[in-house]
């Protein structure tokens, strides 16, 4: 609970993991002998503000989910929801099943196990600034824009570019309005913030560590096995 606001966290773990190409959903691969998803859930559990967890998974992955629940225990009230075709559909499935008393919604990628608990709590605190907040960091590389994927069209000013992460936090009514508008107008966003931006709401950027990686490729998994030693020392 944050300032008498009931906080529901959504952990999206229904992806296919095609880029990992290891025959198993990436969230169930292990780092430091512990499934990635278990690392992530434990970070959510430690937040002093989060009241309820909605775990969004594929129906075909339930045996892995039950293994995590049994072995690592979920010490927070939770509900399991099946994912949809796209991430946006998966989050929406969760929104339709969240506790009625929810005031603040937090969405987080199951494959981001290195987010700090302090930053989770800071994102929840800062949502009151505009109604939407996201962890992010400045882009380090020069970015090129190419329409055809063959030739560079132009180079945007790197000083204005930020790489957003999760968690992303919203007042419930703002996120619900954004999703309703997206489905009404027939578009999909690349993240929850992009949907909220289309409603005219400004999203608060919260500077965060570059360690908060999303584990997507085998190279990421190698990096994760190094990072887990760093965060555990």
Taking only the tens place, the pLDDT of each residue in 141-199 is 999 999 999 999 999 999 999 999 999 999 999 999 999 999 999 999 999 999 999 99
56-99 pLDDT per residue, tens: 999 999 999 999 999 999 999 999 999 999 999 999 999 999 99
Q: Which CATH class for the 6-228 domain?
A: alpha beta
User: Can you give the pLDDT at residue 16?
Assistant: 66
124-136 pLDDT per residue, tens: 999 999 999 999 9
What are the domain boundaries of the chain?
Answer: 6-228
Q: What is the 3-state secondary structure (H, E, C) of 97-165?
A: CCCCCEEEEEEEECCCCCCCHHHHHHHHHHHHHHCEEEEEEECCCCCCECCCCCCCCECCCHHHCEEEE
pLDDT at 23 over 90: no
User: Can you give the pLDDT at residue 168?
Assistant: 98
Q: What is the 3-state secondary structure (H, E, C) of 85-97?
A: CCHHHHHHHHHCC
pTM above 0.85, yes or no: yes
Q: What percent of the chain has pLDDT over 70?
A: 95
């Amino acid at each position: 609970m944050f300032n008498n606001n009931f906080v529901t966290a959504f952990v999206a773990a229904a992806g296919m993991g095609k880029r990992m190409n290891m025959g198993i959903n990436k969230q169930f691969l292990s780092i430091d002998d512990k499934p990635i998803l278990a690392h992530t859930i434990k970070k959510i559990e430690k937040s002093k503000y989060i009241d309820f967890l909605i775990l969004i998974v594929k129906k075909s992955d339930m045996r892995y989910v039950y293994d995590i629940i049994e072995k690592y225990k979920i010490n927070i009230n939770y509900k399991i929801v099946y994912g949809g075709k796209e991430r946006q559909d998966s989050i929406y499935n969760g929104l339709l099943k969240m506790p009625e008393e929810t005031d603040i919604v937090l969405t987080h990628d199951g494959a981001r196990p290195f987010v700090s608990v302090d930053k989770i709590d800071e994102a929840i605190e800062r949502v009151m600034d505009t109604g939407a907040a996201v962890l992010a960091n400045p882009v380090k590389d020069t970015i090129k824009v190419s329409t055809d994927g063959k030739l560079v069209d132009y180079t945007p000013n790197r000083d204005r570019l930020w790489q957003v992460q999760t968690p992303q936090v919203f007042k419930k009514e703002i996120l619900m309005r954004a999703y309703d508008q997206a489905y009404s107008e027939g578009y999909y966003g690349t993240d929850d913030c992009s949907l909220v931006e289309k409603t005219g709401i400004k999203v608060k950027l919260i500077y965060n560590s570059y360690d908060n990686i999303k584990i997507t490729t085998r190279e990421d998994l190698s990096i994760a096995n190094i990072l887990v030693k760093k965060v555990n020392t």
